[in-house]
A and B are shown apart, each in its own frame.
Chain A
Amino acid sequence: MRKVYLDNNSTTPLLPEVRDAMVPYLGEYFGNPSCLHEWGDPPREALEKARAQVAGLIGAAPEEIIFTASGTEANNFAVKGIAMANQKKGRHIVVSAIEHFSVLNSAKTLEKMGYTYSVVAVDKYGVIDPEKVRKAIRDDTSLISIMHANSEVGTLEPIKEIAKITKEKGIIFHTDAVATAGTIPVNVKELGVDALSLAGNMFYGPKGAGALWLRKGVRITPLLDGGIQEGGRRAGTENVPGIVGLGVAAEIAKAETSTRNEHLTKLRERLIRELPARIDRVVVTGHPEDRLPGHASFCVEFVEGESMLMLLSTKGIAVTSGSACTSRALLASHVLLAMGLPHEIAQGSLLFGLGISNTIEDVDYVLAELPPIVDRLRQMSPLYSKFLKSKGG
């Protein structure tokens, strides 16, 4: 059976050249980079090379890169660490309604510690209005955290415009760029932000390696206490093989961004154009144009996401959904609800994360296999029969 992986928003496959670069650090170069003897030298040098590669990806200085174990850790570190280190300025932070849970739940944790936070709403495309961010700012606001792009609906956010406001107000601005760094051009100076999170497994690097970029001069309180790794800001023996892989993946991503995206955009456009043409009552979620190159997301009315996902899986197609049934917490996607989609439509969510090895044939395979699956589920859907009856008058 044909196997089509279309879940690159969850994680991407490791590039063979990335894996090859990692292998020596799982073998002969096993040493601890903090050690002064000769076993410490190759891993330490590899770490610094990776730091320069990651800095190069986002137009930053190497010493501003702090390696973490994931994008989630980078987000936790940024939100909690910056809020704690800057509480003299105030104990209020601003986030958007569609942030990843690593940001939203960090804000909730801070709330338990006596901080307050404001949530900025989004429009029907999931776009954040910079003026709403401005209105949420208070005298005691010390941090604003707004994502660069949302991985559930693909929408790109106006980070530059928000950064103008935060600069004018003198407030630290963090952006979660896990969905964009290594995927679209990201330059911290052009964006105008003060801190940025990224993760290697989103751009064909390994899991377990991410980074927080922190502009020089921004204060942060470590989440992990211990040794003086990462300039004393992130204790713990470094995941050298993972970080090496992150660095190589970053270098390749930078070189290949435009060719990758030309290809991905073609596939995405075919999916976004053709799926609603072949299936009645399908809503494209997220912004129609200002979206991630390989990202296509939909809500199929009158059917539920998990059952679609399971039937697609029997055809060898891997996708994901923001429906309540597919989430372990059994809650519909907070992103889709924040965009104003009613629950019954959000339940029909399907997310396609196209990757660099997908082909137009993969897209055509989905376009052929999905309509009969939807039809089959609609034939047994009470919502669909109600719809047909209301239509029939």
Chain B
Amino acid sequence: MPVYSQKVMEHFMNPRNVGEIENADGIGEEGNPVCGDMMTFYIKVKDGRLEDVKYKTFGCGAAIAVSSMVSEIAKGKTLDEALKITPSFVAAELEGLPKNKFHCSNLGAQALHKAIEDYLNKQKAGGK
């Protein structure tokens, strides 16, 4: 078994907030199957806050745990707060990730940021 922390294992075994959001306000995709991990995040925004965060993830145990943790951290946060979530913070919340997995699997924060950017771009386009 890969050397994962208890927290990673717990999130891997019981991932939170898995799924898609119908008519999501923003969608962000990060990674690709070549490197082995791919995540799609869906967000619902209300009054400048992430009312709902869901995701789908293809990847290893770390990738699934990262997605789950990001969704948990991000839910209820303002967009600004959510944009400040870093991969290092996610890894720390998971009580660490194996060194060689840090970059390839820790894509949750980026995918979430892309979903927020997607939302902001749509807002801009809609405002014109």
Contact = CB atoms under 8 A, between A and B. Distances in A.
Given A304-B60, A382-B38, A347 B33 contact: yes
B1 interface: yes
Interface stretch (A4-12, A75-83, A213-221, A306-314): A306-314
A314 to B, nearest CB: 7
A386 to B, nearest CB: 9
B31 to A, nearest CB: 10
B64 A382 contact: no
A379 B56 CA distance: 8
Interface in A138-171: none
Contacts of B33: 342-344, 347, 383
Contacts of B106: none
B37 A382 contact: no
Nearest to B35: A324
Nearest to B68: A380
A310 B58 contact: no
A113 interface: no
B39 A382 contact: yes
A337 to B, nearest CB: 10
Given A380-B64, A382-B56, A385-B20, A307 B12 contact: yes
B12 A304 contact: no
A385 B22 CA distance: 13
Interface string A314-343: 100000000111101010100000000011
Most B-side CB within 10 Å, residue of A306, A324, A385: A306
B20 A380 contact: no
A302 interface: yes
B56 A307 contact: no
B2 interface: yes
A112 B64 CA distance: 41
Contact of B59 (A304, A313, A314, A385): A304
A332 B36 contact: yes
Contacts of B18: 379-380
Contacts of A302: 58
B36 A330 contact: yes
B16 to A, nearest CB: 11
Contacts of B39: 382
A382 B40 contact: yes
B105 interface: yes
Given A302-B58, A344-B33, A383 B15 contact: no
Contacts of A379: 18
Given A325-B105, A380-B56, A382-B56, A307 B61 contact: yes
Contacts of B110: none
Interface string A371-393: 00000000111111100000000
B58 A381 contact: yes
Contacts of B57: 380-382
B100 A304 contact: no
Interface in B3-21: 12-13, 15, 18-20
B117 to A, nearest CB: 18
A369 to B, nearest CB: 15
B56 A304 contact: no
Given A324-B36, A325-B37, A304 B58 contact: yes
B104 interface: yes
B92 interface: no
A303 interface: yes
A376 to B, nearest CB: 10
Contacts of A343: 33-34
A310 to B, nearest CB: 5
Given A323-B36, A347-B33, A381 B56 contact: yes
Interface string A51-67: 00000000000000000
A385 B37 contact: no
A338 B33 CA distance: 17
Contacts of B20: 385
Sorted nearest first, the 8 A-B pairs with minimum C-beta distance are: A344-B33, A325-B60, A324-B36, A306-B60, A382-B56, A382-B40, A343-B34, A325-B36
12 contacts: A302-B58, A306-B2, A307-B59, A310-B2, A325-B59, A325-B104, A347-B36, A379-B18, A380-B64, A382-B40, A382-B56, A383-B58
Given A306-B60, A306-B61, A381-B58, 8 more contacts: A304-B36, A307-B59, A307-B64, A310-B12, A325-B101, A344-B33, A382-B56, A383-B58
Interface of A: 302-304, 306-307, 310, 313-314, 323-326, 328, 330, 332, 342-344, 347, 379-385
